[in-house]
Amino acid sequence: MSVGSEDTKDRAGYAATSDERHRERMQRKKELIDRKIARATIERGVLVVNTGNGKGKSSSGFGMLARSLGHGFQCGVVQFIKGSFSTGEEAFFRRFEELDYHVMGEGFTWETQDKERDIRAAQAAWAIAARMLADPGYDFVLLDELNIALAHRYIALDDVLAAVAARPPQQHVVITGRGAPDALIEAADTVTDMRVVKHAFKAGIKAQKGIEL
């Protein structure tokens, strides 16, 4: 047998062994995941909190909104901060009859520069959100940037905790915004803390339609 033939045979044997090891690893992984899935038997609404300084908190919430609408859920959205400018998500999602959409903020706090006005806007938004959280007709509720209103103490944290705890058993709730309070994180079922690695704005690139707007 030539040297070239031996090399080809060795490579083929190595590839076969590597494939077998891969199959064995994937089989063990599948068995582990299947066991975890089998243990997850509770079916109820979940409270999701997206926080942190990184981009994507609201985007993730609206992604879950799209998924919920795809399943035919009745959904509600309350935006606590955004409001002084139009966004792509508002333009897109308002076309759905299954969605009750409220933009209640008057812009970022450094834009309004009026604390009492911000408090009134936040509390008006919370009144609508509290109504949704008490209504079993809503399957999914997105409270966008609520964490910011909580961080500024425009809304009482105890009121929010009581409302999410007393909501209908099958209702899903997503709360976004940086600075989520510890008590809300503790109450949540799923928490994601988004971290900044790079952001185009720091390089002087303005907010772009489809990305930030």
Say which residues have a Cβ less than 8 Å from residue 165's Cβ, sequence separation at least 6.
187
Domain tally, the chain:
2
Same domain, 112 and 195: yes
The model's pTM is 0.82
Task: Tell me the C-alpha distance between 186 and 36, whole Å.
Answer: 23
* pLDDT single digits (tens) 151-172: 999 999 999 999 999 999 999 9
Say which residues have a Cβ less than 8 Å from residue 170's Cβ, sequence separation at least 6.
44, 45, 136, 139
Contact (CB, 8 A) for 106 and 83: yes
* pLDDT single digits (tens) 1-55: 454 566 665 666 566 688 888 888 888 888 888 887 788 688 999 999 999 999 9
CATH of the domain at 156: 3.40.50.300
Domain enclosing residue 124, as ranges: 47-203
